[in-house]
Chain A
Amino acid sequence: MTDPDLAQAFLTAPDERADLVDAVLRRVRAADRRRRVVIAAAGIAGLGLAAAALAATGLLGHATLADLAHVALQPWMLATLGVALTALVAARETLAEL
């Protein structure tokens, strides 16, 4: 019996393992779902940050510190930044699970 014969003997398995295959596929589907969540969250975060940046650049050049503070404290700006940060945190947590 040669070494390749021995290696071939190791390629035998006693029976089918449908339970194991199902478990793997369940984990693959869960990972796919998490990946989609990450992509969506990153997209939302990107849009939020882009909107905030756009608003900030519109004020550049002729805005006073008080103007910037006024815009930064607007409810829509706080909400935008909040959504962006939440999305970023969610994406990071989900990525860590993958």
Chain B
Amino acid sequence: MGPPRLASDIELALAAGRGDRRAFGELARRSAPVVAAMLRRMGAPAALADDLTQDALLAALNAIAGYRGDGPFMGWVMRIAARLYLKRRRREARIVLMADPPDGRTAEPATDSDLRLDIDRAIARLSPPERLCVSLHHGAGLTYDEIGRALQVPPGTVKSHVSRGSAKLRTLLASPERRAR
């Protein structure tokens, strides 16, 4: 007899929709740390990140019938959390975005010790608008248009921050093997 099979997100979501709080607890256990980490990567203070993670999970439970299992549950909650963050901090986020015009800078050349940078340390080296846009786009899966609409900035501005931020992240996260090729 093999190890017990882990229930899939959609199985757990269906059970949670029927009122199974243990199933929802398992979904929360799988997604809460990642959602909170993503919000902190966007620039949210730790307490706000925790609050919004809770709000997002409760919103997800109330709308759980809308989860179709197309992707991981945590991705779905991350989108909800990102929208809540933008709603809560629309004004500050817009100021962050508009205060730092594209400057064409690239990431500093990575040294050997830099090559082991994890995602958090790499993101900390991006400018605030890049961090926000890259996290919203790659982390939460929002489109340029969605981010632009939420922050009332042109999608082109968002795209520019995402492009520069992604390029820096690729440099910072590149493994020694990849770089040696």
Contact = CB atoms under 8 A, between A and B. Distances in A.
Contact of A20 (B54, B138, B173, B178): B54
Nearest to B135: A10
- How big is the B interface, by class? 35 or more
Chain A interface mostly helix, strand, loop or mixed? helix
Contacts of B74: 11
B158 to A, nearest CB: 15
Chain B interface mostly helix, strand, loop or mixed? helix
A16 to B, nearest CB: 6
Interface residues of A, number: 24
A35 B58 CA distance: 14
B144 interface: no
A12 B38 CA distance: 9
Contacts of B178: 1
A23 to B, nearest CB: 6
Interface string B26-58: 001100111011100100000000100110011
B142 to A, nearest CB: 12
B36 A13 contact: yes
A20 B33 contact: yes
Interface in A19-67: 20-21, 23-25, 27-29, 31-32
Q: Which of B32, B57, B135, B166 has the most CB of A within 10 A?
A: B32
A7 B33 contact: no
A69 interface: no
Contacts of B75: 11
A10 B166 contact: no
Contacts of B154: none
A10 B24 contact: no
Contacts of A21: 25, 28-29, 32
Interface in B112-166: 118-120, 134-135, 138-139, 141, 166
Interface of B: 21, 24-25, 28-29, 32-34, 36-38, 41, 50, 53-54, 57-58, 61, 72, 74-75, 118-120, 134-135, 138-139, 141, 166, 169-170, 173-174, 178
